[in-house]
Structure 1
Amino acid sequence: MSVHTDYANLANRLIAAYAHQCLAASRAQRSLRARSHHDKSFMQSLLRLSSVLLQYKSPQATDAVLDAIDLASVYAGVERRESSAGSDSSLQYDDFLVQELLHYFKHSFFRWVTKPQCPQCQASGDNIVGAGARPFSASHNPDQVSVVEMYHCTTCSLPVEFARINNPLSLLRTREGRCGEWVNCFLLILHAVIPQPNRLRYVWNHEDHVWCEYYSYGLQRWVHLDPCEACFDEPHLYANNWGKKMSFVIGFNDYYAIDLSDKYIPASAQIDKLSVVSSLKTVTSIVDHINLEKVREFFTSDETMRTLTAASASNNTIQANEELLLHLYNSIILPYNRERKLVVGSAKPSKTSTAAIGRQTGTSEWTRARGEDGS
């Protein structure tokens, strides 16, 4: 056995031991406790989103997406983008596919709703007046409606309702909504065409916006995507273009959650974080809790259990356990630690098509009220 092999084996044993410590910590962690009402609300939001990507993974969802979208149009657009790219472009085929899906989704597939249309006169302007909201009360809720917004058409004197749908499969049928519905449906489509594990991420902003990211093999990093604006790789869109002030931005992929605030919020757009939570340690503890739970889930998955059972039958349990710990380290622990250590401003946006100032989805009154009109 060579010295190199000895060192390699030693390195693997040390890595496996570290991964085992992380696994032990995940099994020993206690339930989170909030120190204040604000902390509790923040914690509940993050815990609710910790497994948000699971809803996009069923074979039924993939089949529904492929039936719903115009694949011929999308792939024709991909070919045009690829053929017009310069030879020095670091973008790969997947990047052109994502860019084309953003364009197709915004301009040909989904519709923005500030106010719902009246079913009789079909208008959705000043004639539609808000009248509050009510919880969805029916026992059967296949669309996963969270709340029903209520309006009144002054022209027709009719009540008008807008159900906020959370089932992404249902959104393939309705094809309308605001940023929550847009991202929910777009991620479903994106997962159908880019099904590799841990390449998609749901991104949540405390100030009432959501978007997504995907891992680009060509750019070798996570890339910002906003389907509402058809934006690719513009992480400072919200701060520098919309003029949006923000406190926290948290991302959720298959294997971990991560605080992305430094990536998206320059100092000029930063809201005092302590106006949102009682302590910055609160956010760290919530993210750490989610990630330790992800470690535990990863190691207790059906696939892992089958591997250990097979190894036990062949008396290779120790070796199999070490290999699984190395897999855990390389799949979750190492990528998270690497990304967490990225410095502020490390994102390098590519050339983009954003020209207009301010948010382009929603009415001018709506974007102005949200502080997203670029003023």
Structure 2
Amino acid sequence: MDEQKARELTDRFRQVLSTKRMNELSSRSRSASPAPFNAALPPTNAPPPSYSSSIRNIPLVPRPPSDARSMRFKNMLLSLSNMPVKWENPGLLDEALRVIPLDQIYGEAEEESQIFKAEAESLGAGKKPAWGYQDCVIRALLRWFKRSFFTWVNNPACHTCGSPTIAVGLAAVLPDEQARGASQVELYRCSLDQCGTYERFPRYNDAFVLLQTRKGRVGEWANCFSMLCRAMGSRVRWVWNSEDHVWTEVYSSHRRRWVHVDACEESWDKPRLYTEGWGKKLAYCIAFSADGAMDVTRRYVRTARFAAERKRAHESELLYIMNEIRASRRSKLTKNDKFRLEGEDMAEDRELRRYVAQQVAYEICKLNPEDILRGGSGSARPDPEAQKAAEGRQNGSAEWIRSRSESGRRFQNGPHDQPPRR
């Protein structure tokens, strides 16, 4: 682009912004009801005028939930925030270490770590490896968990004849199942009429029980795998999604950020998998850890095309709930630990805001200058970051979604604002 064309484009851009501002001011003045010129002045005790319609992008001020809907949302999030606390049990973590093949995990991690170091050295002196050693440990754990340890279950096979079963509904929870942490039991019937055996499939929430059953769906996978990551010494989060999915985040000290991990997909650091990959729209993605909570939706939803409406609570109320959970979880921490966590929160908030700025810049870069000068729309250019998410696109097929029940819950048990039982 030559200098003259760039100057013309700049002038055109300024003119568009100026015209837009004038139109907004004109429409605002027309919508208001002007007082007569000789009208009396308002009393001195009258409230000041409201500028909420004209002020934009100011920081949110946390406010407590005020209506029944936001209170239900708050209670649900408070309940979900208890999940990572259960993984801090030393006895549970010791039992997990006895299950994990440590020699295999550490051997694979050491080999992969050396590969990353060699790749960094080949790029020049002082280059940092893509991932650190502890990251490679979790990556090795992810492969072992997916390929050798845990089993996906849709319809359990008949224990009598081994035939497929058909979902019937929900069954009452037996005392021994309830004692092991099952809050719901799915009932299935053998597809062979001459057999007719019924199969019970308890949905366990206890990670200790899952170490023994080693089967389930998304909820069980994320629960057990996150606990195993904690046993291996990593800081973990349990990410709840309002569209009925859950996954894990692991803190990378090497990268100094939280990394997306999905044990069901053996997916590492692919936060756009669910949107660009599966084509799903997401409203809320809330990450819970033993020391707080964070609304991380912006990490997984980068464009408005994949953003579902957020209407369970006002944004300021959600911010209040997040702050309340953090304060509760950190009340007994030392001053230094609180200061460190607050620094991480601010760094993560900058990261999430950067995603928004990057997307705005990307949308601008897609525009063609010639089209702008002609008054038309810009031609689209391919997004280089979308290729990473597209690696999981095959998992978004209709057949796969039906087999995994990704389109919704298999059974309904109570109101929609319940923890996912997938």
Deviation string for 1:94-146 (max 9, x for gaps)?
1111111111100000001111121112233xxx2221113525277342001
In structure 2, the residue matched to 1:296 is: 331
SS state at 1:182 partner:
helix
1:287 to 322, 337, 355: 322
Counterpart CA distance in 2 for 1:66 and 1:285 is 37
Q: Is the 8 A contact 2:250 2:259 kept in 1?
A: yes
**Displacement of 1:43:** 1.9
Identify unmatched segments of 5+ residues in structure 2: 1-61, 121-128, 359-384, 409-422
1:73 to 98, 104, 110: 104
SS state at 2:175 partner:
coil
User: Does 1:231 pair with 2:270?
Assistant: no
In structure 1, the residue matched to 2:67 is: 35
Larger Rg over CA atoms: 2
Counterpart CA distance in 1 for 2:159 and 2:102 is 31
Matched to 1:158, the amino acid is T
Query: Structure 1 residues 351 and 236 mapped into 2: Cα distance closer, same or farther (>3 Å)?
Result: closer
In structure 2, the residue matched to 1:205 is: 241
Counterpart CA distance in 2 for 1:166 and 1:351 is 32
Q: Is the 8 A contact 2:219 2:246 kept in 1?
A: yes
SS state at 1:116 partner:
coil
In structure 1, the residue matched to 2:21 is: none
Q: Is the 8 A contact 2:152 2:217 kept in 1?
A: yes
Counterpart CA distance in 2 for 1:157 and 1:34 is 52
Counterpart CA distance in 1 for 2:265 and 2:317 is 32
1:171 to 210, 222, 241: 210
Deviation string for 1:300-340 (max 9, x for gaps)?
xxxxxxxxxxxxxxxxxxxxxxxx53x25423333223322
Q: Is the 8 A contact 1:149 1:162 kept in 2?
A: yes
Identify unmatched segments of 5+ residues in structure 1: 1-28, 299-323
Counterpart CA distance in 2 for 1:139 and 1:77 is 39
SS state at 1:262 partner:
helix
Aligned residues: 308
Matches within 5 A, 1:109-258: 109-124=149-164, 128-138=165-175, 141-155=178-192, 156-194=195-233, 199-258=235-294
Q: Is the 8 A contact 2:73 2:313 kept in 1?
A: no
**Displacement of 1:69:** 2.1
Query: Structure 1 residues 356 and 246 mapped into 2: Cα distance closer, same or farther (>3 Å)?
Result: closer
Matched to 2:109, the amino acid is V
**Displacement of 1:66:** 1.9
TM-score (norm 1): 0.74
Indicate the larger mover: 247-256 or 345-354: 345-354
1:102 to 123, 127, 142: 142
Matched to 2:81, the amino acid is S
Counterpart CA distance in 2 for 1:349 and 1:297 is 42
Counterpart CA distance in 2 for 1:111 and 1:362 is 19
TM-score (norm 2): 0.66
Counterpart CA distance in 2 for 1:369 and 1:52 is 22
Query: Structure 1 residues 362 and 285 mapped into 2: Cα distance closer, same or farther (>3 Å)?
Result: farther
Identity rate, percent: 29
Q: Is the 8 A contact 1:359 1:367 kept in 2?
A: no
SS state at 2:199 partner:
strand
Higher relative contact order (CA 8 A, sep 6+): 1
SS state at 1:132 partner:
strand
Counterpart CA distance in 2 for 1:353 and 1:268 is 16
Query: Structure 1 residues 140 and 209 mapped into 2: Cα distance closer, same or farther (>3 Å)?
Result: closer
Counterpart CA distance in 2 for 1:360 and 1:144 is 33
SS state at 1:358 partner:
helix
In structure 1, the residue matched to 2:355 is: 345
Counterpart CA distance in 2 for 1:83 and 1:341 is 31
Q: Is the 8 A contact 1:53 1:253 kept in 2?
A: yes
SS state at 1:114 partner:
coil
Query: Structure 1 residues 106 and 352 mapped into 2: Cα distance closer, same or farther (>3 Å)?
Result: farther
**Displacement of 1:368:** 7.3
Counterpart CA distance in 2 for 1:362 and 1:166 is 28
Matched to 1:335, the amino acid is E
Q: Is the 8 A contact 2:189 2:196 kept in 1?
A: yes
Counterpart CA distance in 1 for 2:99 and 2:396 is 28
In structure 1, the residue matched to 2:47 is: none
Q: Is the 8 A contact 1:202 1:213 kept in 2?
A: yes
Counterpart CA distance in 1 for 2:290 and 2:400 is 35
Q: Is the 8 A contact 1:135 1:146 kept in 2?
A: no
Query: Structure 1 residues 353 and 193 mapped into 2: Cα distance closer, same or farther (>3 Å)?
Result: farther
Deviation string for 1:13-52 (max 9, x for gaps)?
xxxxxxxxxxxxxxxx99x656134x34422221012232
SS state at 2:157 partner:
coil
Counterpart CA distance in 2 for 1:337 and 1:60 is 33
